[in-house]
Structure 1
Amino acid sequence: MLLLLLISSAFVLPWAGAGRIIGGKVVVPHSRPYMAYLKIEVKDQSGSKAFSCGGFLIRPDAVLSAAHCVDKKGRVNITVILGAHNIHVREQSQQWISVRDWVIHPDYCPVTLHNDIVLLKLKKKAKINKNVKLISLPSSNEHVRAGTKCEVAGWGRTSLDGSKTDVMREVELKVQNDKPCQKEFRKYQRRSMMCVGDQNSGKSTYKGDSGGPLVCNKKAHGIVSHGMGRRLFPEVFTRVSYFEPWIRQQLRRFALQELPASPSSQ
């Protein structure tokens, strides 16, 4: 179910739900070995609900994604699928790993989607091979210039109202200067967010691509966060370089801390 967030007379939609890449193409199978598919199950008094999001492997036991993917009311269970191309087939390359714990950024806001980032701790380490690999992160002072072409991958529909696809697709999107997003999103923060999209190309991420990486120069510079419903341009991505110190801190905490057996958001 999609939550409509009315902010400053503009509809801001976190890209959660059924996955879509619009205007993209099918990738060569397993050519994006850092990609993770998140199966999210939520149980509450009304029953069970299922969601899906993207993510990306940054350490054998850690996946980055968007906070709004896991910020749910009720009991949340997350399974990460690595090494997948066709997400609805149990391919031999796939690794299904339960998430043991996760930490949402302490300043995350579900209304404005500020600090839309979560780090997931896997119950066991992924086996790194040709189909499952890590992706590098930018340093805290590393940025991509406006005009840079980057890629975003995900699973799902190929148009706003089209049929679903089960295989991974990818779209090339251009990094914008901040003006289009400052105009459309009054709560846009240039330090922690990136403005991305292609105004006239009909290309976009959409629901369910949340949490996937914006890959520029072979590094994960952005995380799919939110947009404006059926309007494909512009899109807001979480700026990974801004959160790099926080990510490193949490990775150290994961390494040192004795984690509880059941997952919990913090």
Structure 2
Amino acid sequence: MDDLWKCLVIVLACLGRKACGSEIINGEKAPDGSLLYMASVQVRGVHVCGGFLISEDLVLTAAHCDDPGPTHVVLGTHNLKRVDDGNMINIEKRWKPCNYSTPGNGKDIMLLKLSRKVQLKNNVQAIPLRSSEIHLNENTKCRVAGWGKNKTDGGAVDELRVVDVAIINQQVCNDTWNHYLPANVICAGGYNTKKGFCQGDSGGPLVCNGKAVGVVSFNKNSNCNYTSDVPNVYTDISKYLPWIQGILNGANCYD
């Protein structure tokens, strides 16, 4: 019965993320001892999204990762075949912005409260968030990481992969997307480059200068054969710091 459930979860995850991101394209295996904040967001042992630890008991991910209902996260390993009870932590509560609907309408961010605090040590660390005072210049070198396929029609990988991407001018991004972008997003990778993310790695962080600045949200038409079409799109974390603080202050629903 467990095998049947896992198959169903995989099917639902694939159907639910046709417009969203997941595989790292033209990246490399993440070096041991790096990216210690990365989390695999899972449903009963099946990886469905990326995420990242921001405190001892809080993980950030994408709001669209709420379907099909994640049950736990895995921390402290790059290899999803090397998971035990010490790596796996149940999700106690999930918060999305009140009027979130789809990634294309914005507000694609979700906060996960873990059932217990993790010990920050050599293989697990939290990552600081970008504040609104930090300006991202065009061509700033950043990185995005995740688990999954490494090409559009490829197979999934068990080991974390990472790729360098550059920040793209917001006006250029809006123009290439024909001004269909929601508010409060950042663009990086997938445009004039063959590097970026793809379906399945949603929720992972865009990291610039050691800070998490964005959350993997969506690309175009599930096509990861990147050349010069349109940029990848991330939720701008700095615009949601009041939302995060509102949740921490006890609000059940806060926009």
Please say whether Structure 1 and Structure 2 have the same fold, judged by a TM-score greater than 0.5.
yes
What TM-score results when the alignment is normalised by the length of structure 1?
0.80
Question: What SS does structure 2 have at the residue aligned with 1:2?
Answer: helix
- State how far apart, in whole Å, the 1-side matches of 2:70 and 2:192 are: 39
> 1:115 matched to which residue of 2?
107
Question: What SS does structure 2 have at the residue aligned with 1:89?
Answer: coil
Q: Which stretches in structure 1 are left out of the alignment for 5+ residues? A: 6-12, 42-48, 258-265
> 1:253 matched to which residue of 2?
250
Question: What SS does structure 2 have at the residue aligned with 1:246?
Answer: helix
* 1:22 correspondence with 2:25: yes
- For residues 175-194 of structure 1, what are the structure 2 equivalents within 5 Å? 175-183=167-175, 184=177, 186-190=179-183, 192-194=184-186
State the 1:159 CA deviation. 1.4
Which residue identity does 1:14 align to in structure 2?
Answer: C
- State how far apart, in whole Å, the 2-side matches of 1:66 and 1:158 are: 20
Equivalent in 78, 94, 97 of residue 71 of structure 2: 78
> 1:167 matched to which residue of 2?
159
> 1:46 matched to which residue of 2?
none
1:58·1:136 contact (CA, 8 Å) conserved in 2?
yes
What TM-score results when the alignment is normalised by the length of structure 2?
0.83
- State how far apart, in whole Å, the 1-side matches of 2:111 and 2:164 are: 25
C-alpha root-mean-square deviation of aligned residues, in Å?
2.5
> 2:50 matched to which residue of 1?
54
Equivalent in 241, 245, 248 of residue 244 of structure 1: 241
- State how far apart, in whole Å, the 2-side matches of 1:216 and 1:70 are: 26
> 1:2 matched to which residue of 2?
15
> 2:4 matched to which residue of 1?
none
Number of paired residues?
Answer: 235
Which residue identity does 2:245 align to in structure 1?
Answer: R
> 2:94 matched to which residue of 1?
102
- State how far apart, in whole Å, the 2-side matches of 1:50 and 1:33 are: 20
State the 1:50 CA deviation. 5.5
1:107·1:114 contact (CA, 8 Å) conserved in 2?
no
> 1:8 matched to which residue of 2?
none
> 2:3 matched to which residue of 1?
none
